[in-house]
Amino acid sequence: MSEVLANEQVAEGVYRLAVAGQFAGTMGQFYMLRAWDRYPLLSRPLSIFNVTAEYVEFLYLVAGEGTEMFSKLRKGDSISLEGPLGNGFSRPSGKTAFVGGGIGIAPFYYALGQIPDADVYLGFSREAYMVDEFRAGTTGQVVVNVGGIILDEVDFNAYDTIIACGPHKMLEAVQRKQADSGTKAEVYVSLENRMACGIGACLVCSVQCRDGRKKACADGPVFRAEEVVFA
Amino acid sequence: MMDMSCNIAGVHFKNPVVMASGTFGFGKEYGNYYDLNLLGGISGKGLTLHPKEGNSGIRVYETASGLLNSVGLENPGIPMFLREECPRWEGLDTARIVNLGGNTLQDYVDGALMIEQDEAARRREGRSAIDMIELNISCPNVKAGGMAYGIKTETAREVVREIRAVTSLPLVVKLSPNAEDIVGMAVMCETEGADGISLVNTFSAMKIDIRNRRSVFDNLYAGLSGPAIKPIALRMVHQVSRAVSIPVMGMGGISSAEDIVEFIMAGAAVIQVGTFNFINLRAGKELIEGLEQFMMEQKVNSLDEIRGIL
């Protein structure tokens, strides 16, 4: 069991949670969190927003019963974490762009710790959040779009590596844009499938890939964009 | 010295905690969290002769105290399992159970034969990776497959008979709670020579996305597991245990040592733990410890003292 350090609302329905302790993790990995005993049954996967020597942070959107319960946590409350889990991003080469849609921006803040000159594209449907933090975290440019299509702002031919996280429709568009632009960049997507065990045993987060089924939790959540078969 | 052990058709279970098929992979992942050799047994992910991709769309949805799943028997196929997983299973000191599924009768038979021959060859060399087959006639996810076999006793009889004829490995038949007559089904299995019964698989169930006016699951129905089904599963285990003389593996929503005791009192020889593995990655280890604690507190020296007392 770990202890909640802070859980502050940063936008409507969006919270930044800090949990005390020494936690490991590379960029793009996630933890399974639960802040309750029995119900809801499943823990919730949240990607790492930040790790320091004293705490780990998560940025999450209230989307259902579990995240609703997270949103009510206060300093000093108990929470249990399993992780870090998943493959994360391998270290990008060359000029890098991070493209986040909505709460999909979460994994990129921590990634800037290792790629401090990456360009960051943040797309929001209604309200921007965490923009100042991202601006402070990179020497590259930070492009923000509210209500439009963030992907339209990204020149796929201007980068060596592009990593995107966001809604399925956005990631599908990333795959299309990769093909249409003829870019030579390595393009990755980070998936947010529903999970149960989080460790690769139950197969509920299965992803259809060109060479068969893969597990979002253990083989991913980061995949090469061209590898994923979007339904 | 407390005795939690049990013997099913010559297979030794050091304790009654067996990990249920479909929730435990082939054990590898959970082996990072505790020593798998602590377990009474492991029933591996359900296998079919050929690899299966499983169902499309959302595969999991939580309900009040329950879990709906629609994995659809995604698995690497029996040959891949024998090649890739069995070498590791050889080194396990726990009852190793292969869960066998199939879309057609021929698939079942060919799969069972392949397992039988592979294990026989291993045993000729003084090795072993498989202790038992758990025949899955009940997976409710596969269209025109598991569902039909596990519902009607006479349809299931054909599969059980054919599999019994081709394997000398201990054979346990896993029953669906959706069976028309679950007691009749169990009695049929015993008559056809099964060495044991396991029950229950998931309950066929449904969830509707009312805003999009469609089922949440591409496959329409899904299988319900978890604490929500426990009281019904317990009743079924009780009825079946009274009706047959072969051992019963009881399961359905078990998530505490107290739950295990209930199933044993209802007549189960051993129990299986499924959904709870997702809630607690160290479930196996902690349940065994909890059961020891219970036996100590209640001065139970052997589970035989409380097995089937109702």
Structural domains in chain B, CATH included, are 6-53+73-206+227-305 (3.20.20.70)
Q: Is A69 on the interface with B (CB under 8 A)?
A: no
* Integer-rounded Cα radius of gyration of chain A: 17
**Pick from A47, A57, A28, A61: nearest CA to A127:** A61
Are the beta carbons of B62 and A213 separated by less than 8 Å?
Answer: no
A chain contacts of residue B23, beta-carbon cutoff 8 Å: 197, 201-202
| A39 contacts on B by Cβ (under 8 Å) | 64-65
pLDDT confidence of residue B130 = 98
3-state secondary structure B271-308: EEECCHHHHCCCHHHHHHHHHHHHHHHCCCCEHHHCCC
Q: What is the pLDDT of residue A112?
A: 94
Q: Tell me if A194 and B60 make a contact (CB, 8 A cut-off).
A: yes
Q: Residues of CATH 3.40.50.80 domain(s) within chain A?
A: 96-227
On whether any CB of chain B is under 8 Å from the CB of A229, the answer is no
Please name the residues in contact with B6: beta carbons below 8 A apart, sequence gap of 6 or more.
Answer: B12, B13, B16, B40, B247, B269, B270, B303
The per-residue pLDDT for range A86-142, each reduced to its tens digit, is 999 888 889 999 999 999 999 999 999 989 999 999 999 999 999 999 999 999 999
B199 labeled binding residue: no
Question: Alpha-carbon distance B229 to B67, whole Å?
Answer: 10
Our answer to whether residue B86 is catalytic in this structure is: no
Averaged pLDDT of chain A: 95
Residue of A nearest to B46 (CA): A202
- In CATH, the number for domain A2-85 is 2.40.30.10
pLDDT, one tens digit for every residue, chain B (310 residues): 789 999 999 999 999 999 999 999 999 999 999 999 999 999 999 999 999 999 999 999 999 999 999 999 999 999 999 999 999 999 999 999 999 998 888 899 999 999 999 999 999 999 999 999 999 997 443 445 445 688 989 889 999 999 999 999 999 999 999 999 999 999 999 999 999 999 999 999 999 999 999 999 999 999 999 999 999 999 999 999 999 999 999 999 999 999 999 999 999 999 999 999 999 999 999 999 999 999 999 999 999 999 999 9
Whole-angstrom Cα distance, residue B177 to residue B164?
Answer: 22
Average pLDDT on A33-62 reads 96
Closest CA to B306 of B41, B4, B18: B4
Q: Of B22, B24, B56, which has the smallest distance from its Cβ to A231's Cβ? A: B56
For residue A199, the distance in angstroms to the closest alpha carbon of chain B comes to 6
User: According to the model, what pLDDT value does residue B148 have?
Assistant: 65
Measured between CA atoms, the residue of chain B closest to residue A194 is: B60
Catalytic residue, chosen from B6, B86, B139, B189, is B139
Could you tell me where in chain A the CATH 2.40.30.10 domains are found? 2-85
Q: Per-residue pLDDT averaged across A43-60, rounded? A: 97
Indicate yes or no: CB of A41 within 8 angstroms of CB of B281: no
Q: Which 225-254 residues of chain B touch chain A by CB within 8 A?
A: 226-227
Is B209 near chain A, with CB under 8 Å? no
Is A68 in CB contact (< 8 Å) with chain B? no
| Contact call for B25 and A200, based on CB within 8 A | yes
Q: Which of B209, B228, B217, B167 is nearest to B192 (CA)?
A: B167
The C-alpha torsion from A208 through A211 and A216 to A217, rounded to 10°, is 150
What's the pTM value of the predicted model, to 2 decimals?
0.94
Q: What angle do CA B104, B97, B70 make, to 5 degrees?
A: 55
* pLDDT digit string, tens, across residues A173-190: 999 999 999 999 999 999
Contact B25 A208 (CB under 8 A): no
Residue with the two structure tokens 């009825």: B239
Domain A96-227 bears CATH identifier 3.40.50.80: yes
Does the CB of B77 have a partner CB in chain A at under 8 Å? Answer: no
